[in-house]
Amino acid sequence: MSLPPSEIPLGAMRFNSDSQKLEYWMGSAWMQIKTFSPNLEGGARGVWSGGDPSRTAEMDFVTISSRGNAQDFGDLPFVNAGSNLGIQASKTRGFMSGGEAPVGDSHNYITKYEFSSTGSAADFADLNFTSKNGGGYANATRGIQHRGYGAPSIDHEDVCFFTMASQQNAVDFGDIAAGSSYGGGGMASPTRGVIVIGRDASGTVNTIEFCTIATTGNFQDFGDVSETNNAPRSGTGGNATRGVIMGGGNPSYTTTCSFLTYTTLGNTTNFGELSAARSYGVSVSDSITCIFGGGTNPDGSQSNKMDSLNISTGGTAVDSGDLLSSRRERSAASNGHGGLG
């Protein structure tokens, strides 16, 4: 028996026996879920890179749909680009934008790697500003980077973009409404980019802003992260309909996992928990699963644990294996994220 449209939950899924396709409910109509196979070896890959303490060039990867420990992928081209990087990805390439040098200075490098094979990342182009702790995200063609913390202060609203298929430097996109976005993460659907502000010059904030990726311009208010501690230093990911925020916190840490629906402006909804409170970790995702990896434990020690959460149902995240090393402020990208459809 079919439900009337007013009773169908937003984001509900069904199999259409006529078209032989999966569909999801957008609030007014059923839309086909478009899928792709980005990695012929078995599914989307998530790649972690760099991190603190003791800045590193290390890169490791997992196949998101298969639980298990991470494997060696390669190395970053610059050891000093090893932490606090913005991340973008197409279906074939991962990008790392900006970062933090060993003495704490931010820089403007964009480096790239190919998801289909292991190997070290290579120089690609430059941002049009120096950046660290700035969120990054993408759709299938454009990578967006927030300035975050850039010398001489954290009070920067600048955003730039680059075309991932063209080896050219980034150019101006627009500005966020907040004075800066420092320590918050980014996520995207194929059309809309979303940034969790996380922190600004005044301290921790829980505001969320959005843009239309295909057109340059300034950002607009989306809503708030319902639990403020879920905003800074959290791991962000999701699929084409839902963005997911996992863990985080500054100074106290949280287990909270929450979600937003890209097409509906408003606050996040809490729907799950990490296995333990952690902050300064990062996430990768495919259309089904979001994995939060690494970060700092409440006692100050670093973690190599990965927690896996179902994007549609939430609940308590389950152990997904271990990263190669225990670090915070790593970067992570996948070729299965929501911006790719």
In tens digits, the chain (341 residues) has pLDDT values of 567 777 777 667 777 766 666 776 666 677 666 544 444 345 899 999 988 887 888 999 999 999 899 999 999 887 665 555 678 999 999 999 988 766 667 888 899 999 999 999 999 999 999 888 888 999 999 999 998 876 566 668 999 999 999 999 999 999 998 877 777 889 999 999 999 988 777 778 899 999 999 999 999 999 999 999 888 889 999 999 999 999 999 889 999 999 999 999 999 999 999 999 999 999 999 999 999 999 999 999 999 999 999 999 999 999 999 999 999 988 899 999 999 99
| Among the listed residues 294, 225, 301, 298, the one whose alpha carbon sits nearest the alpha carbon of residue 260 | 225
Q: Are residues 304 and 332 in the same domain?
A: yes
The answer to whether 59 touches 113, Cβ cutoff 8 Å, is yes
38 found inside a domain? no
Q: Are residues 186 and 249 in the same domain?
A: yes
Residue 59: give its domain's CATH number.
2.120.10.80
Q: Which domain holds residue 7?
A: 1-33
Q: pLDDT tens, 119-176?
A: 999 999 999 998 888 889 999 999 999 988 765 666 689 999 999 999 999 999 999 9
41 found inside a domain? no
The two beta strands, 315-316 and 269-273, are parallel
Which tokens hold the place of 123? 């120089």
Q: Are residues 302 and 199 in the same domain?
A: yes
Q: Are residues 257 and 333 in the same domain?
A: yes
250 found inside a domain? yes
Q: Is 80 helix (H, G, I), strand (E, B) or coil?
A: helix
Q: Are residues 191 and 151 in the same domain?
A: yes
Q: Are residues 4 and 125 in the same domain?
A: no
| Structural domains counted in the chain | 2
Would you tell me how many other CB atoms lie within 10 Å of the CB of residue 253? 23
Q: pLDDT tens, 295-336?
A: 999 999 999 999 999 999 999 999 999 999 999 988 899 999
223 found inside a domain? yes
Which tokens hold the place of 243? 């963005």
Q: Are residues 12 and 110 in the same domain?
A: no
What pLDDT score does 14 carry?
A: 77
Q: Are residues 235 and 270 in the same domain?
A: yes
Strands (E), 248-296: 256-261, 269-273, 282-285, 289-293
40 found inside a domain? no
Q: What radius of gyration, in Å, describes the C-alpha atoms of the chain?
A: 18
Host H or E run for residue 60: strand 58-63
Q: Are residues 207 and 306 in the same domain?
A: yes
43 found inside a domain? no
| Among the listed residues 88, 126, 48, the one whose alpha carbon sits nearest the alpha carbon of residue 330 | 48
11 found inside a domain? yes
Q: Are residues 202 and 270 in the same domain?
A: yes
Q: Are residues 147 and 5 in the same domain?
A: no
Q: Are residues 7 and 139 in the same domain?
A: no
Q: Is 325 helix (H, G, I), strand (E, B) or coil?
A: coil
| Among the listed residues 56, 46, 172, 159, the one whose alpha carbon sits nearest the alpha carbon of residue 113 | 46
